[in-house]
Structure 1
Amino acid sequence: MRTVAILLFDDVEVLDFAGPFEVFSVTRELAGDQLFTVHTVGLNPGTVRARNGLKVVPEHTLESVPQPDLLIVPGGYGTRALLHQPGVLDWIRRKAPKCELVASVCTGSLVLAKAGLLAGLPATTHYECFDQLRALEPTATVREDVRFTEADRVLTAAGISAGIDLSLHLVARLHGVATAQKTAAYMEYHWTNDGGARR
């Protein structure tokens, strides 16, 4: 059982976190409640107000969540505030070295960049934020032509729905393509696993 932690914060983009949550949760269900335990993580106790007013109550806070094997940082306008929250950035820096994999969706890559996790790596983000990603981490190779990037333990997805592609790729990487295809079929999601740039 691998522990997946998905970070939630005010103005998080809904599909950025809900897409990966669905992928890992469906994979777990189809495997008979095996393979993954999925946790949502808020910065503080209480309700998170996602984009367009959706209210979500995360299961854990930064302090209570078990050490994740997979850490997922989604995007949305709320990432701009995270860039100026040293406590959150430090939490990511402390957790990341103990994670098997660290991934971002959309502008979550800006947070990984600010935390120093994208130095010298390929990375991508929402198409409107390529220049901002370059400014935050000048040594990163920003890819504008892929759904996701992969450099050993660190992965980044492009905008919003690309998080589903990335999550299915992670399922395939960890548990085989057939497992990911079964999840995609259940979700009725057209998945080809050919949208990534790997190093």
Structure 2
Amino acid sequence: MTRSVAIFLFDEVEVLDFAGPYEVFSVAGLRTLPQKPFDVFTVAEKSAIVARNGLKVTPDFTFENMPKADIVLLPGGGGYTADGVAFGSRREMDNPVVLEWVKKQAAQAELILSVCTGALILGNAGLLEGLKATTHFMALGSLRAISPNIEVIENVRYVDNGAVILSAGVSAGIDMSYYVVSKLIGAEVATEAARYAQYDYWQ
């Protein structure tokens, strides 16, 4: 089967948070399997976003017209300005439209994934209660502050709760993506994809 992978985009999203997993899922199995295992697309609340450092991206879909996703990935990126204004994931974690969309996706998707401070969005949506979670090392305190019922794990690249898998910061999302490929369709496929990308750190 071909699983659809929706990657959420928003203004000030960290580029590698979404582009790394996009690359992993897009190329996994293409040279070894008879059928494409993943169909990857991007989705956002609005039709154009500006990622970190000014990268302009046009999402494939918006919340209103996106197809059903088997896997949904929430990247991170963002923080606070000098005068305390939230941007990036710190803004989206309090965006009621985004939180409702995330809850809807979680109710129907096979897997929910987060990279870096995408975990804060999951936490504020109430989807990490009673689960293990991780995020960027500079945001561990923020994740703990969301709920005492989230078991925050430090010094790991990713944590697997079954239907909810989270990674630490930025490049850790690539490790998590290879892990998910391995979990769903086999370690040999993940290893071949990592070898193609000359990514020597997975496994």
TM range (shorter): over 0.9
Q: Are residues 1:171 and 2:171 paired?
A: no
Partner residue of 1:144? Answer: 154
Q: Is the 8 A contact 1:16 1:105 kept in 2?
A: yes
Displacement of 1:12 after TM fit? 0.1
Displacement of 1:124 after TM fit? 0.3
Q: Which amino acid aligns with 1:34?
A: K
Q: Deviations over 1:144-179 (max 9, x none)?
A: 110001111001100000000000000000000000
Partner residue of 2:56? Answer: 55
Partner residue of 2:124? Answer: 114
Q: Is the 8 A contact 1:110 1:133 kept in 2?
A: yes
Unaligned runs of 5+ in 2: 79-87
Partner residue of 2:67? Answer: 66
Identity across the alignment (%): 47
Q: Are residues 1:190 and 2:200 paired?
A: yes
1:149–1:52 distance in 2 versus 1, CA, 3 Å: same
TM-score of the two chains, using structure 2 as the length reference: 0.92
Q: Is the 8 A contact 1:121 1:151 kept in 2?
A: yes
1:110–1:94 distance in 2 versus 1, CA, 3 Å: same
TM-score of the two chains, using structure 1 as the length reference: 0.93
Q: Is the 8 A contact 1:157 1:163 kept in 2?
A: yes
SS of alignment partner, residue 66 of structure 1: coil
Unaligned runs of 5+ in 1: 194-199
Displacement of 1:92 after TM fit? 0.6
Q: Is the 8 A contact 2:160 2:166 kept in 1?
A: yes
Displacement of 1:137 after TM fit? 2.3
SS of alignment partner, residue 28 of structure 2: helix
Q: Is the 8 A contact 1:181 1:191 kept in 2?
A: no
Which of 14, 39, 42 is equivalent to 1:40?
Answer: 42
Question: Paired residues, what number?
Answer: 192
Q: Which amino acid aligns with 2:56?
A: K
Q: Is the 8 A contact 1:49 1:56 kept in 2?
A: yes
Q: Distance in 1 between matches of 2:52 and 2:45?
A: 16
Partner residue of 2:112? Answer: 102
Q: Distance in 2 between matches of 1:135 and 1:7?
A: 24
Partner residue of 1:3? Answer: 4
Displacement of 1:138 after TM fit? 1.7
Q: Distance in 1 between matches of 2:94 and 2:126?
A: 14
